[in-house]
Amino acid sequence: MSLPCFDSPAGPVAAGLLHPVAIHAELARQLGALLAPGTTLQADQPLAKRTTLRVGGNADLYVEPASEGDLSTVLRFATERQLPVTLLGRGSNLLIRDGGVRGIVICLAQPVFSGIVVEGDRLRCGAGARLKGVAVEARRAGIAGLEFLEGIPGSVGGALRMNAGAMGAWTFHVVESMRFMHRDGRVEELPAAEIPVVYRCCPLLKSCIALGAVLRGRPDSADAVGGRMAAYSAKRWESQPAQPSAGCIFKNPQPIPAGKLIDELGLKGTRVGDAMVSDIHGNFIVNLGGASAGDVLKLIEIVRDRARTVRGIDLETEVEILGED
């Protein structure tokens, strides 16, 4: 692991005398002294329970800032100590390796980042707001166009970062503007037209942190919106597995949807340990209970190998793979 940079380079860390757990505790003590009491800060936090796939190791430091001020303090601290920073949403599109994530993992889960405010046919949403909550608010307010968010088990921040999609729609189809923080703590808001996005990625958010977005729909009756949400939900329940997963593992390649390809290759039900290619949808790997990240990664390679050798198709992972083995 890369050693955090301490105040005194000649101290016990530089001498290699401290165990990583003690280093993380000391880093937490130093960072904690700069933060408000409402900010959650933990050393060596298990991350598996914070992801929908339920695999992976610990975060060296885990922080839930209580304000934008504390978020920028954490970023400054990380820059000064040369610690990597990782943003965690609701962990629904993540595969965290078994060795865990070095540096600081930040999650905008506190209420200050999770608001949803209706303004006419717009919703001003914090990055920590749940997508399901956004869809429910839109239905209550009679705003159409956001129904597809109903079944994506993520946060607004994660959906912006991944340009998440379902039912033929993308997150950025409904984004009017986005507020975000640069690594130096500067906050900026840009109209969606000035933010480049592609299928399943908003590259700007590889270096900046989404704070929230204004989503725009169009007026409709709450009943009509609710009807469409119910239809989407039914379609998802019949075509996607209910077991723990990270959603779709691969991006859809040009010639054929990944799920259909994996199905045609006869790979449904293939297992490595407790990781299994879903027998309901070929592009999902489910955790039957005791899977490790290593199991999932091996299974991904088996599927990619088969797709390449049998059909000449290179499957690219859609899930974010983070951390160390």
Which phi and psi (to 5°) does residue 258 adopt?
Answer: -55, -40
Q: Which stretch binds ligand EPU (CB under 6 A): 133-141, 223-231, 255-263, 306-314?
A: 255-263
Distance CA 259, CA 242 (A): 16
Distance CA 84, CA 105 (A): 8
Q: Is 257 in the site for ligand EPU (CB under 6 A)?
A: yes
Distance CA 175, CA 124 (A): 10
Distance CA 232, CA 159 (A): 18
Q: Is 212 in the site for ligand EPU (CB under 6 A)?
A: no
Nearer Cβ to ligand EPU (71/166): 166
What is the longest distance spanned by two Cα atoms in the chain?
A: 67
Nearer Cβ to ligand EPU (82/239): 239
Nearer Cβ to ligand EPU (31/258): 258
Shortest Cβ 248–ligand EPU spacing (Å): 4
Shortest Cβ 263–ligand EPU spacing (Å): 4
Contact letters (x/-) for ligand EPU, 299-318, by CB under 6 A? -------------------x
Shortest Cβ 97–ligand EPU spacing (Å): 19
* Tokens encoding 264: 């045609």
Rounded alpha-carbon distances, angstroms, from residue 144 to 58, 121, 147, 224, 226: 40, 8, 7, 8, 9
Shortest Cβ 268–ligand EPU spacing (Å): 6
Nearer Cβ to ligand EPU (167/302): 167
- Report the phi/psi class of residue 112: left, alpha or beta, with left for phi > 0 and alpha for psi in -120 to 50: alpha
Distance CA 264, CA 251 (A): 17
Place of tokens 């009491």: 37
Q: Is 160 in the site for ligand EPU (CB under 6 A)?
A: no
* Tokens encoding 303: 């599927």
Task: Find, among 95, 86, 89, the residue nearest to 54 by Cα.
Answer: 95
Distance CA 43, CA 19 (A): 13
Compute how many residues bind ligand EPU; rule: CB under 6 A.
Answer: 15
Sequential DSSP letters for 232-243: HHHHHHHHS--S
Contact letters (x/-) for ligand EPU, 214-253, by CB under 6 A? -------------------------x-------xx--xx-
H or E element, residue 71: helix 68-81
Shortest Cβ 113–ligand EPU spacing (Å): 23
Q: Is 267 in the site for ligand EPU (CB under 6 A)?
A: no
Contact 14, 4 (CB under 8 A): no
Q: Is 281 in the site for ligand EPU (CB under 6 A)?
A: yes
Contact 25, 59 (CB under 8 A): no
Shortest Cβ 167–ligand EPU spacing (Å): 4
Shortest Cβ 257–ligand EPU spacing (Å): 4
Q: Which stretch binds ligand EPU (CB under 6 A): 47-55, 170-178, 214-222, 280-288?
A: 280-288
Residues in touch with ligand EPU (CB under 6 A)? 166-167, 239, 247-248, 251-252, 257, 259-260, 263, 281-283, 318
